[in-house]
Amino acid sequence: MHPIVTLSHCRHALREGTTSAHELVEQALERIASPQGEGARAFTKVYAVAARESAVISDVLLAAGQTRSGIEGLPISIKDLFDVAGETTLAGSIALQGHPPATADALAVQRLKAAGAVIVGRTNMTEFAFSGLGINPHYGTPLNPWDRTTGRIPGGSSSGAAVSVADGMALVGIGSDTGGSLRIPAALCGLVGFKPTASRVPMQGVLPLSTSLDSIGAIAPSVACCAQLDAILSGEMFAELRPASLKGLRLGVPSTLVMEGLDAQVAHSFEGALARLSALGVVVQNLAVPAFARLATINAKGGLIASEGWAWHRELLAASGPLYDPRVSSRIQRGQAMSAADYIDVLNARTAWITEVQAQMTDLDAMIMPTVPVVAPSVSETAASDEVYTQTNLLILRNPTLINFLDGCAISLPCHRPGEAPVGLMLAAPSLHDRRLLSISLAIEAALHGA
């Protein structure tokens, strides 16, 4: 794991002339290509030639003081489900090999390029984004930067995105989040992962998992980095983020479901974070959220992900089913048994569920909870059997997926002490409270890490 630097640090270095876009990109490409590194598993495609050409353009603009945005000339990775013109979007699978290439870049990719980002490559992911573990039998599993001797999962589905940032192969990784796919790998790898309100970033040109739940965001070194990318991806005018006041801030810890099954390290880190926040004047209160306990029943037949996933995959499964990871295809195929009435029942239940949960959040500034209840398990133990894989996947997805169903926004921040196993603290707010949540997160990030 390389020392992680923020976008702000790199922008300052570019302004001062102590580095260049060319140097930053060469450093990233060198780390991707290193035989001792995780580049071969973290990336499914590297854009070395195009990245070097983009860096030259950025350096010319930087020298002329004509930067396009705050990410001018900075190396950024994109998850393997974004369309790039002239390439087939594979989404971590081999089932789409040979299919027609995309005719245009995904809108998110267009916005990144227009902002001056240097896209260094496509990152590996759980096949078709359908798991929170990050294991990929087709392209290999990039190992978590923590404890590589053991070989731990990176979290998914945006596995390569997190590892690309943790290992200095990109400054930011752009990914998707349907049930935690940005926040989980960020939490397990010691980074920040932001899932915006789904409607704020268009899904045009992005291979979907669940059209109702998918959202696009960033994994990065800091809250400010995520806020910068969020503005670009959403097409909003960027305004400098100001930290919220901690004194009197009201945070609710759900006592329903989300605190169950915590391992000792997660419990220790989370309780320590709450104690530090309370000492700074944050009002932390426990609250029962009965709706959380009912979500499994609402989704008992497969829910929105299985039904919407089946709608997209049914023809491909019929033609190329044996090429899928069986642990992915079996979950998608649950949607085949869902009727239109079942699907409508879930949609209606979701509307009522959101209303109920939002009513409980009225007097809160945000909810706070562990992102994932356990530290990253090893790849070998997780993949040892279908039963262990399934149970571990459900446990790791449990907390983050609540906020996707809420149609809310959420962020995972590191809350562990230096040298300890990475642990994520998740802050969540209702739909379209993104800016306020980022402001709160900036203040909490500073409080937890002494900034």
User: What is the per-residue DSSP string for 305-318?
Assistant: HHHHHHHHHHHHHH
| CA–CA gap between residue 395 and residue 411 (Å, rounded) | 18
Same domain (yes/no): 224, 268: no
Best CA proximity match to 54, nearest among 1, 13, 114: 114
In a domain, 60, yes or no: yes
The residue length of the chain stands at: 451
Same domain (yes/no): 157, 276: no
> Which of 189, 210, 234 is where one domain is finished?
234
- 200-256 pLDDT per residue, tens: 999 999 999 999 999 999 999 999 999 999 999 999 999 999 999 999 999 999 999
Pairing of strands 424-429, 409-414: antiparallel
In a domain, 356, yes or no: yes
| CA–CA gap between residue 408 and residue 197 (Å, rounded) | 5
Mean pLDDT computed over 39-63: 98
Task: Band the pLDDT of 3: cuts 50, 70, 90.
Answer: low
Q: CB within 8 A of 262, min separation 6: which ones?
A: 270, 370, 373, 374
Phi, psi of 132 (to 5 degrees): -95, 10
Max Cα distance, the chain (Å): 62
In a domain, 313, yes or no: no
Task: Band the pLDDT of 451: cuts 50, 70, 90.
Answer: low
Q: How far is CA 220 from CA 30, 45, 113, 284, in A?
A: 20, 20, 18, 27
Same domain (yes/no): 16, 53: yes
Beta bridge partners of 45: 122
Best CA proximity match to 421, nearest among 51, 35, 25, 145: 145
Burial (CB count <10 Å: 0-12, 13-18, 19+), residue 3: exposed
Q: Where do the DSSP E strands lie in 40-84?
A: 43-46, 75-79
Which pair of structure tokens corresponds to residue 441?
């997160």
Best CA proximity match to 237, nearest among 409, 111, 61, 406: 111
| CATH number for position 189 | 3.90.1300.10
Integer-rounded Cα radius of gyration of the chain: 21
Residue 24, helix vs strand vs coil: helix
In a domain, 199, yes or no: yes
Whether residue 114 is predicted with pLDDT greater than 60 in this model: the reply is yes
Pairing of strands 283-287, 409-414: unpaired
Whether residue 450 is predicted with pLDDT greater than 90 in this model: the reply is no
Same domain (yes/no): 290, 211: no
- 347-397 pLDDT per residue, tens: 999 999 999 999 999 999 999 999 999 999 999 999 999 999 999 999 999
Same domain (yes/no): 97, 141: yes
| Percentage of the chain modeled with pLDDT above 90 | 98
Same domain (yes/no): 264, 144: no
Mean pLDDT computed over 65-82: 98
Same domain (yes/no): 186, 272: no
- 188-200 pLDDT per residue, tens: 999 999 999 999 9
Cβ–Cβ < 8 Å for 438, 241 = yes
Residue 4 confidence (pLDDT): 77
Cβ–Cβ < 8 Å for 333, 297 = no
Cβ–Cβ < 8 Å for 208, 84 = no
Domain count, the chain: 2
Same domain (yes/no): 196, 278: no
Burial (CB count <10 Å: 0-12, 13-18, 19+), residue 348: exposed
Q: Please give the positions annotated as active site.
A: 79, 157, 181
> Which of 209, 234, 259 is where one domain is finished?
234
Residue 1 confidence (pLDDT): 57
Mean pLDDT computed over 29-48: 98
Same domain (yes/no): 210, 148: yes
Q: Where do the DSSP E strands lie in 42-87?
A: 43-46, 75-79
Mean pLDDT computed over 90-95: 98
Distance of CA 320 to the CA centre of its chain: 28
Same domain (yes/no): 172, 278: no
> Which of 208, 234, 260 is where one domain is finished?
234
Residue 21 confidence (pLDDT): 98
Residue 118, helix vs strand vs coil: strand
Same domain (yes/no): 289, 352: yes
Which pair of structure tokens corresponds to residue 37?
């590194």
Our CA dihedral for 435, 438, 439, 445, rounded to 10 degrees, sits at: 180
DSSP 3-state percent helix, strand, coil across the chain (nearest 5): 45, 15, 40
End-to-end CA distance of the chain: 22
Same domain (yes/no): 261, 219: no
Residue 433, helix vs strand vs coil: coil
Which pair of structure tokens corresponds to residue 359?
């009513």
In a domain, 149, yes or no: yes
| CA–CA gap between residue 337 and residue 340 (Å, rounded) | 10
Please give the residue range of the domain that contains residue 355.
250-299+344-444
Whether residue 183 is predicted with pLDDT greater than 70 in this model: the reply is yes
Mean pLDDT computed over 418-427: 97
In a domain, 318, yes or no: no
In a domain, 198, yes or no: yes
